[in-house]
Every structure is written in structure tokens, then in C-alpha cells.
Amino acid sequence: MTMSALGEPCVLLKLGEVVLKGNNRELFERRLQANIKAALKDVGVKVDVRQRHGVIALFLPDGSGAEIADAVAERVSYVPGLVWVHRAWRVEKDPSAITKAAIELLADRDDVRRGVSFAVRSRRRDKRFPLTSMQLDRSVGGELNDIYGLPVDLKSPDLVVSIEVDRDEAFVFTGGQPGQGGLPVGTSGRGLVLMSGGIDSPVAAYRMMRRGLRVDFLHFSGIPFTTSESIYKAYALVRALDKFQGGSRLWVVPFGKAQQSIKASGQDRLAIITQRRLMLKTGEEVARRLRAGALVTGDSLGQVSSQTLQNITAQDDAVDMPILRPLIGLDKTEIMAEARRIGTLAISELPDEDCCTLLAPRKAETAAKVADLKKIERRLDAEELAVQLAGSLQEYKIDA
């Protein structure tokens, strides 16, 4: 049997939450298509993106081989808003062509040689197709059973041959890889992530991207009292996250002199929370300039002294802008597992000179009072200092 029996290689994308959006669904689908097209620029081939009911089909240029389809599937698997990515074959909408493609699809597979159980599962998006889904399952499944002698298991098969009959063609495939789920980036507005070099903030950024938020990243460097190591690390983290949204920007504030002023205030136990409040005030000023509507942090309740309920409340008081904390109920093990999955953990674990080490009191306050913090801020003129810090921004565009 020739390769033509398999038809043309393509990629079939399954949508998640987007299909539940009612009257706004078209807006979400358009944004998702735009994100897919932007992501595919990295692959370097012109892909025809076509919307179907609940799915998106990616048709490749004529003559594209399976390796191109693999590269396209891998790239779009990082685009939020998709729940499954299938490497499929596009064939004529004809029972005979579908059966031939299914037979060819199982040829030369090691699991087929081992005699794994199988099932055929069909779906008709075009109800005019002459066979019902059940009839198509039986027809194709019978042919596969005759040729390969595989046992049929309709409840929990080892191998599923999927057939989807659409308006103009049919798709045949096995397996697939999970997508990121969530909503398309850009459908929930814009946010600014306070990006340390640690494990938590990159995961927080990823989680907000999955909820449709397009994010910029703000890093506070200890310069001039530390080296540029933390900036390199923050850049590497943002670069690793860029595959989920594209066009990411890292903004860096030299924070060392401000930290020196906080340390000179003599309020050792309150230094960390004072610093956090100043970071948030600066972040709010930067966010307004970038037209972002919220700040994002990697806080997890009770993880460190600055993240007790009382101290989180004291930090919320520092700004008017919403502070989103997507990790608030996760423990460190859960956060590390997600960091490993999205590819940021190894970078976060690299050593660097973090600016927080400049303000490491022997004993930090776990229940800071807002009134005490405001007294320190009046002496520091924190509001004006935040504006000055925001004015010292340096932008680093991410090279994808």
C-alpha cells in the first residue's frame, strides 16, 4: 500500500473551555487562531489554519512530510486554549478511503505486532455521511481485525483508532499529546509578573497565561551591590516561558540603593515586608505605564515569613491594583512538580546573587502592622521612590 492511502499529514487541535463561551465564543476562537499562527512562525512553514466546530485543523503545504507535521504539533502543544493535539491524516470523505487509511496507519507498528487490544471510535461532524458512527466503527474495526488479528476491547483498549468525519474530508489518527488547556492568551487582559529568580514566580506566570492573561515580567536586581547574574537568570526563565505566549518582555529595575535605604531605616524585622511593599508600589507604577490591569506574584500561603496571612494583608494595602496569587493554595512539592513540567525548575535552581539576600534579618516579622510600615514609608518617601524606580526601567526583549 502506498503512502497515498494515508492521505495528507495534518494536525487536529481540540478546544477546551473555549467551546463553553456562548455568544463570546467567536472572539475567543479568533484570538486562539491568531496565537496559533504566531506560534507557527517559529516552525518556518506556511500552515493553513481552519476552524471547525470544536476543533481547529492545520493543513500543511503540499509535499510536507511527517517530520513537518511533528514539528507543527510539538509547537502548538504549548499554546494555551488547546486540550489535545493529534497528528492526523486527512483523507477523502469516503468509507473505502477511511478504511484504507486506518489499515495503513497500523502497519509496521510494534504494538500491533505484539497483539494489543484495539477499538475504533468515530465521530461525524457531518451528519450527511452515509454511515452512522457505530456503522463506521464496525466496518473499519472488522477490516482491521481481519488483517491484523487484534483483539477488540471497547471498554479499555490499548490502542484507539480515531476517525472524525468533517464537512469536506475525514481525519484518521491514533493517540495524541495533551495541550495546555485553559484560555487563549490575551482574552483576559494584561498583567505584570513580579519575577524573581526562584521557583514560584515562573509557575505563577504560567498559570496566569493559561487563564488568558498576557503578561510582562518585572525583575528587581540588586545592582549596584550585586552582579548581573540575577538578570541573566530572569531572562532565561522568561525565555523558557515565552513559548506559551510569544512576544514576552522583561523589565529590570536596579533596586540595590533602595534596599540600602530600607536597611538604613533601622527597622530590621520589618525590612522584608517594607521591601515587598516598595516592590509592589513600583510594580503598580510600571503596570500603569504598560497598561496592565493586575500584578502577579508567586506567593503561597505560609511558605515563608513574608507570606503569612497578616503579611499578605499588609502587602495588599500597599497598592490599589489587584494582586493575583495563583499559587496561594499550593505547597512547594506541587509548585516544583509544575516547574519541572513547564521547563523552568532547572533554571530556577541555578545559583545567583538574589537581591533579597541584601535584606536578610536574623528574625523577620510574621505579623506586620500596616501602621508601622506606613511610618517607615513616610521616612523613605516610598511613593516618590517607587516613581523614581519605575523611571529607571530597562527593557529586555526576549529572543525566541
For 14, the grid coordinates are 481540540
Q: How many whole angstroms separate alpha carbon 131 and alpha carbon 110?
A: 31
| Strand partners for 2 | none
Q: Measuring CA to CA, how many Å separate 94 from each of 6, 184, 255, 391?
A: 13, 34, 66, 64
| Strand partners for 146 | none
Annotated binding site: 194-195, 219-220, 276, 298, 307
- Backbone dihedral angles phi then psi of residue 162, each to the nearest 5 degrees: -100, 135
| Strand partners for 119 | 160
Angle between helices 382-391 and 370-380 (to 10 degrees): 60
Q: Measuring CA to CA, how many Å separate 350 from each of 186, 197, 199, 233, 355?
A: 31, 9, 10, 8, 15
393: left (phi over 0), alpha (psi -120 to 50) or beta: beta
For 291, the grid coordinates are 497598561
**Amino acid, res. 320:** D
Q: What are the strands of the beta sheet with 323-324, ordered from one edge?
A: 323-324, 294-296, 190-194, 214-221, 249-254, 394-397
Q: How many whole angstroms separate alpha carbon 103 and alpha carbon 386?
A: 66
Annotated binding site for ATP: 194-195, 219-220, 276, 298, 307
Dihedral sign (CA 266, 271, 273, 275): positive
For 13, the grid coordinates are 487541535
**Amino acid, res. 149:** G
Contact 191, 213 (CB under 8 A): yes
- Mention every residue, 6+ apart, whose C-beta is less than 8 A from residue 66: 9, 87
Q: How many whole angstroms separate alpha carbon 159 and alpha carbon 173?
A: 11
Please name which of 48, 53, 59, 19 lies closest in space to residue 126, comparing C-alpha atoms.
Answer: 53
Which stretches of 205-293 are assigned E, i.e. beta strand?
214-221, 249-254
* Strand, coil or helix: 167: coil
